[in-house]
Amino acid sequence: MADPENAKEATTLRYAFGNVLSFHSSLDRSSRFLDPSFLCLLIDFQVIKYESVIHEFDPYFNYRVTQFLTKNGIYDFWNWFDDRTWYPLGRVIGGTVYPGLTLTAGTIWWILNSLNIPLSVETVCVFTAPIFSAFASWATYLLTKEVKGAGAGLTAAALLAMVPSYISRSVAGSYDNEAVAIFALIFTFYLYIKTLNTGSLFYATLNALAYFYMVCSWGGYTFIINLIPMHVLLCIVTGRYSSRLYIAYAPLVVLGTLLAALVPVVGFNAVMTSEHFASFLVFIIIHVVAFVYYIKGILSPKMFKVAVTLVVSVGLVVCCAVMAILIALVASSPTKGWSGRSLSLLDPTYASKYIPIIASVSEHQPPTWPSYFMDINVLAFLVPAGIIACFLPLSDASSFVVLYIVTSVYFSGVMVRLMLVLAPAACVMSGIALSESFSVFTRSIKFQLHGLSGSSQVDSGDASSSTVVAQNDAGKAEKTEDTAKERPSKKSKKKEKGIVDKPSLKAKIERRLLVLPFEASIFAILLLVLLGAFYVVHCVWAAAEAYSAPSIVLTSYSHDGGLHVFDDFREAYAWLSHNTEVDDKVASWWDYGYQTTAMANRTVIVDNNTWNNTHIATVGTAMSSPEKAAWEIFNSLDVKYVLVVFGGLVGYPSDDINKFLWMVRIGGGVFPHIKEPDYLRDGQYRIDSQATPTMLNCLMYKLSYYRFVETDGRGFDRVRQTEIGKKNFKLTHFEEVFTTHHWMVRIYKLKPPRNRIRGKTKKPRSKKAQQLEQKEVQLLRGIRGIRPMKLENAKCTVMLILHLPRLWLHFEQELNSEFARMNNRCLLILR
């Protein structure tokens, strides 16, 4: 136990020194930009602590898709219809998955294998994310270099190399879309800024291609296609229109829309959904503005005024007509053309009111305030300083970065998952702030040193402690005197510009030197380095402790210091794959769908894609119903096994009982006989003796707590911290087939239906069937009177003959329902 601690401390110190070195390099403006990328790769604790394993849930689906791609080739991948999920509906993988990640990993695997480096697909998948995080760091360097200069670029890249928010989604094993998408995002922004700065059509083409890669990778591409038009509009409105702006924007819209339409997931949504309308609107606006500027250039001012009045009067009428048509079109759709997820971003309360599935995902909840500090740490208060630095002076590029940070802060406040989009913006801003402040301090040190060694410049240096206030923040000028003496690193960075008057040296008049006292500058630089060290320590800690858990394997430390590993999930999936038939269907809550298909290789009913709310509601209803009703539902879906996750024995808090209320809500949203208040006692969710009878009789309760009393005699649930309500009960329609070592995953089998149903059945009987039944009963009574043993054969044949019409009726019914099911399936496929 002591050794790992020491090792961790040693590595922390090493990282701190490494970061200090890179800061020094930014001072010297050397292009050691490989350093930050290397830093990214170093922070890879997950593979060291556990084995090389894929994390979470979504990566398992991506891994399975990549396996299919590498095995069957790209044509089969584009046309793949997966019948092992969403039974009996299936899923069109080719048309519903964002192919960027799988194609990237597949290409890397193919290249390596053709070079005879035999890496397995799993290894390539696990290590795709760290490689692309190194690329993302490089892209951040390029982006910030375009905005402010190489020094800021290096700092920003070093910050991004370690920021916990990005690390959480790019650890080795987190094989999810964001791994490549964030790199594509930053790279697209870099190319856009580069085009804006140079006006070169070549970079505009590259920009469109990078945007295409982003569309392939992630649904968050709508952020780009809305942010860039917003920025163009901002530039036009603030009078910064230039022909470079036109070259940067117009080809991107045309090429970008076409390329987006090429990706099957997006398809015609690229021109039909409201998420893209902003780009078209600004496309029209920029053409109008360009035309106006052109006319202004070739006409005399008087004539131009005439033209304006003429055009305005006529154009206004036409414009109003077009807008009216457009508004009518958009208003005719109930969601105004926006998708559910985008609407929930714009109106954070939308999902909780209308779409409980989106509201139930934990990643879609708003973040708490401490999570900002956890995820971007020191950057949280360096960002405002960076925003100020961007305004001095304001250029097109810096206005873009300011807009980027403002919008990403808003969206990260709506959904905790979007903290990931905030991270690069925060790193860019903080990089700018740190670099500017470093250059201020070092310049003043240089000046002071130069003044001490020289002779005539000393007087003017000391005298001009009169500070000229920074252009923007007159209000904050009072503080500048104090901050020079106090710790400037902990407060916002203020910049002072003192213009030194040296009548003898004219060159120096133009240069703006800073006049901070020598000791204060040294102290400030030391404090900034200390700040960087704190940041590094926090990031390393966060990466090692909080974000390295693969969540498919859990660990805990026992009281004697040993490591205890909970590998129950993989145990359960291995049992499923070894002990069930290949075509058996497994029902569980949608969280485990991807893992079940990937690891256990069995057909599931619902999975994490959550595209069909009704299907999920069916499973939720089954989990909330009593045993017999649940059995009926599952039997109608051909389910053989039901899988339940239970954490009560070991204290695992994300088990199905804790998620149960969401099952009730989602099920109740579609099937009104499931009402949430039935499961709550006085508004409280309980499973102890005070729980409602509906709760104690539902399938989820029974499957979770079956035989739980046998573990400790009183059935104490460690997660809910109570004893369970119903302790000794038997299951009538299910039988337990497997429970893992720590009782975390429990698998049950549906009992087959009984051959003879005694007494009344609930099925509607036709009159003919009823008559047959009566005849059969009479015959049996008659036969029983004689000699049952000897007349066994006769009874059988007689019963068979009598039952034949009923069998035929039943067969016909079955055929009809089968046809109906096939019809539904065909309709869904065609749609």
Partner 1 sequence: MARSTSKDAQALFNSLRSAYAATPTSLKIIDLYVGFAVFTALIQVVYMAIVGSFPFNSFLSGVLSCVGTAVLAVCLRIQVNKENKEFKDLPPERAFADFVLCNLVLHLVIMNFLG
Contact footprint for partner 1 (CB under 8 A): 199-202, 204-205, 208-209, 242-244, 246-247, 250-251, 254-255, 257-259, 261-262, 268, 271, 290, 295, 297-300, 303, 306-307, 309-310
Q: Backbone phi, then psi, for 555, in 5-degree steps?
A: -130, 155
Pairing of strands 716-717, 734-739: unpaired
Q: Which of 680, 608, 668, 606 is nearest to 643 (CA)?
A: 606
**Residue 230 vs 271, nearer CB to partner 1:** 271
Q: What single letter denotes the amino acid at residue 178?
A: E
Bridge partners of 91, per DSSP, are 82
- Across the strands, what pairs with 380? none
Q: State the Cα–Cα distance between residues 484 and 469, nearest whole angstrom.
A: 14
Tokens of 809: 């009726």
Q: How far is the CB of 288 from partner 1 (least distance, A)?
A: 13
The answer to whether residues 631 and 741 touch, using CB atoms and an 8 Å cutoff, is no
At its nearest, how many Å lie between partner 1 and the CB of residue 280?
11
Q: What is the DSSP letter of 368?
A: P
Q: Please give the single-letter amino acid code of residue 71.
A: K
Q: Which residues have CB under 8 Å from 104's CB, separation 6+?
A: 128, 132, 180, 217
Residue 427 CA: distances (Å) to CA of 35, 379, 535? 16, 7, 12
Q: Decide whether 67 or 197 has the Cβ nearer to partner 1.
A: 197
Smallest distance, partner 1 to C-beta of residue 142, A:
20
Q: C-alpha distances in angstroms, 160 versus 156, 539, 625?
A: 6, 11, 49
Nearer to partner 1, 50 or 249 (CB): 249
Per the omega criterion (within 30 degrees of 0), is the bond before 118 cis? no
In the complex with partner 1, which residue's Cβ is closer, 201 or 794?
A: 201
For 578, other C-beta atoms within 10 Å of its C-beta total 8
Q: 162 exposed, middle or buried (CB, 10 Å; 0-12, 13-18, 19+)?
A: buried
> How far, in Å, are 420, 421, 425, 596, 797 from residue 408 at the CA level?
9, 6, 8, 35, 77
Count Cβ atoms below 10 Å from residue 683 Cβ, excluding itself. Answer: 6
Those residues whose C-beta lies under 8 Å from the C-beta of residue 245, and which sit 6 or more positions away, are 196, 232, 235, 236, 286, 396
Q: Give the shortest CB-616-to-partner 1 separation in angstroms.
A: 31
Residue 199 beta carbon to partner 1: minimum distance, rounded to whole angstroms: 6
> DSSP character for 120?
-
Q: Supply the DSSP string of 445-472, one letter for each residue.
A: HHHHHHHHHSSTTHHHHHHTT--BPPSS
Please report, for residues 487, 756, 772, 820, the alpha-carbon distance to residue 807 in angstroms, rounded to integers and kept in the order given.
90, 14, 11, 20
Q: Is the dihedral of CA 100, 106, 112, 115 positive or negative?
A: negative
CA angle 815, 820, 826 (to 5 degrees): 125
What minimum distance in Å lies between the beta carbon of 256 and partner 1? 10
Phi, psi angles (nearest 5°) of residue 34: -75, -25
- Alpha-carbon Rg for the chain, nearest whole angstrom, is 34
209 vs 477, which CB is nearer to partner 1?
Answer: 209
DSSP string for residues in 792-805: HHHHHHHHHHHHHH
Measure Cα distances from 670 to 520, 606, 610, 665, 740 in Å: 67, 16, 15, 9, 33
Cα gap 731→729, rounded to integer Å: 7
Considering beta carbons, is residue 309 or 332 the nearer one to partner 1?
309
Residue whose entry in the numeric block shows the structure tokens 């201020």: 440
3-class SS letters over 547-600: CCCCCCCEEEECCCCCEEEECHHHHHHHHHHHHCCCCCEEECCHHHHHHHHHHH
Written as one string, the DSSP assignment of 528-553 is HHHHHHHHHHHHHHIIIIIS---SSS
DSSP string, 613-662: HHHHHHHHHHHHSBHHHHHHHHHHTTEEEEEEE--TTTT-SSSHHHHHHH
- Mark out the alpha helices in 263-339 (DSSP H runs): 269-272, 277-298, 301-331
In the complex, the smallest distance separating the C-beta of residue 634 from partner 1, rounded to whole angstroms, is: 41
